[in-house]
Structures are given as structure tokens and as C-alpha cells.
């Protein structure tokens, strides 16, 4: 049998406020987004590991505030008035996350001041807290230090299972509760791992013409996360497709 070539045609994740899964690890961040526009200092810094829901919450805020979205690297390529246009709010995503996301600090300070003059606000989205950003410009460091900062932490078991369900639904895949429970108890404890695992299962199911059931879940989990292999033993009976 010739395997089908899996084409990644993309999928549209649900990014509305009602689609965001609230738990202890992100409740404080959700509360700050809901508190807008009552943000002291003209902005908010939202930080946490990759795939934890930062961008989802940023999209929720953009929908409410009418903010534009800027990648951190753009601050090294154009002046703030050009980037902002007439906008009074913006999301700056990925600040200091990588070498390519190092902003021109003079321009970042100018952008922040320009938004303050307009009575607007900025939402910074990054992996690290502002206190850990390698800022050298004293005025910028002072302004960033005055912003409220809120962290999204790693998921608990219940939230991780719910995230798996959402990721499968985003791809219009029907998966049983037994598969969700199996994966959630064995996979790496992160949202990024959940995203990677669901994508791998989707591709493998399409290529091999198999449904996403326990046997396929076990195979893909072992391949994608070999460090979890010690969690499998002879009592792990998953049946067949």
C-alpha cells in the first residue's frame, strides 16, 4: 500500500474569549485582560512558556481594544509613527524571545511614549518576565519596570486534557475520552507539547489511513516523546484499531 502524503493545509484555531480555558495557572492573566482598560502604567506584560495561551489572550484583548499587532523585530525596521498609524493600542509579541526579537530600544521607548500621549495602551507578550529582559536604556527600563506583569504557568492535569480536546476540535478531529486521558497522563507537561502531539497524530492518521485511537496514540507518543517510554509497561494494554 502506498502511504498518502499528508498535506498540511492548516486549520483555524478558535481564539475567542469563550474558547479560552481558564484554570489556576492562567486565572490571574485572564483577570488582568478582563480588567482592561484599568491598567496602571499604560500597559501590561504577559509572560509564560511557549504555547501557554499568551497569544490567545492577546487576541482576545485585540478584539476588545482594536489594537494592532506588531512583531518585536519590526521595532528595528521602522519608526513608531509609521508602525502605529492612528492606532491607540498595540500588542508587541515576542519581545526579547530571541536574537531576532531584540528591539531598537530608542524606538520602543518612542512607541511607548507615543501611545501614552494618545491615551492608549500596549500589551507586551513574551516568554520571560520584564525584569529579565536585557534592557540597557535607563528610561525604557524604568517605564517597563512600572508596568504590571502577570505570568501564565504550566497546566495541571485537568487543563492539559481540556487543551488536548480543544486542539483536536480545532482540527475537526473526533477523539475518544480514553485517548485524551491516556495522552494527558503520559505526555510532557506543556501546552507546546500538546500542540506538537496533536499535529503529529493528525498527520500520522492521515498518512496511514488510521483513526486516532489508543494504538496510534501510543505509537506517536513514544516516537514524539521517547523520554516518556519508561511510563509504558506490560500492563499497558491498548487493543487494536
pLDDT of residue 160: 87
- Domain assignment of residue 69, given as a range: 26-151
> Of 100, 131, 151, at which residue does a domain stop?
151
Number of domains in the chain: 2
pLDDT of residue 18: 53
pLDDT of residue 239: 46
Query: Do 184 and 103 share a structural domain?
Result: no
Query: Do 143 and 33 share a structural domain?
Result: yes
pLDDT of residue 4: 32
> Of 151, 181, 212, at which residue does a domain stop?
151
Residues of the chain with pLDDT under 50: 1-15, 232-235, 237-240
Query: Do 56 and 96 share a structural domain?
Result: yes
In a domain, 141, yes or no: yes
pLDDT of residue 230: 53
pLDDT of residue 236: 53
Query: Do 74 and 56 share a structural domain?
Result: yes
Query: Do 126 and 96 share a structural domain?
Result: yes
Query: Do 200 and 223 share a structural domain?
Result: yes
Query: Do 30 and 147 share a structural domain?
Result: yes
In a domain, 18, yes or no: no
Q: CATH number of the domain at 198, please.
A: 1.10.8
Query: Do 218 and 171 share a structural domain?
Result: yes
> Of 94, 117, 151, at which residue does a domain stop?
151
Residues whose CB falls within 8 Å of the CB of residue 87, separated by 6 or more in sequence, listed in order? 66, 67, 68, 120
Q: CATH number of the domain at 79, please.
A: 3.40.50.300
pLDDT of residue 66: 95
Amino acid at each position: 500500500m502506498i502511504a498518502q502524503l499528508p498535506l498540511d493545509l492548516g486549520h483555524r484555531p478558535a481564539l475567542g474569549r469563550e474558547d479560552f480555558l481558564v484554570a489556576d495557572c492562567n486565572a490571574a492573566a485572564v483577570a488582568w485582560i478582563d480588567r482592561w482598560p484599568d491598567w496602571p502604567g499604560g500597559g501590561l506584560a504577559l509572560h509564560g512558556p511557549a504555547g501557554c495561551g499568551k497569544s490567545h489572550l492577546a487576541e482576545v484583548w485585540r478584539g476588545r481594544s482594536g489594537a494592532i499587532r506588531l512583531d518585536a523585530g519590526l521595532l528595528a525596521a521602522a519608526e513608531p509613527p509609521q508602525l502605529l498609524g492612528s492606532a491607540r493600542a498595540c500588542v508587541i509579541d515576542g519581545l526579547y524571545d530571541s536574537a531576532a526579537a531584540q528591539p531598537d530600544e530608542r524606538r520602543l521607548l518612542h512607541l511607548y511614549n507615543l501611545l501614552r500621549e494618545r491615551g492608549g495602551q500596549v500589551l507586551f507578550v513574551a516568554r520571560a518576565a520584564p525584569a529579565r529582559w536585557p534592557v540597557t536604556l535607563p528610561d525604557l527600563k524604568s517605564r517597563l519596570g512600572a508596568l504590571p506583569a502577570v505570568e501564565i504557568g504550566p497546566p495541571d492535569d485537568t487543563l492539559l486534557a481540556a487543551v488536548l480536546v480543544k486542539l483536536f476540535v480545532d482540527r475537526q478531529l473526533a477523539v475518544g475520552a480514553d485517548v485524551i486521558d491516556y495522552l494527558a497522563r503520559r505526555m510532557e507537561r506543556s501546552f507546546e507539547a500538546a500542540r506538537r502531539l496533536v499535529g503529529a497524530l493528525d498527520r500520522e492518521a492521515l498518512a496511514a489511513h488510521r483513526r486516532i485511537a489508543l494504538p496510534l496514540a501510543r505509537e506517536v507518543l513514544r516516537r514524539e516523546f521517547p523520554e516518556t517510554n519508561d511510563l509504558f509497561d506490560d500492563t499497558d494494554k491498548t487493543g487494536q484499531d
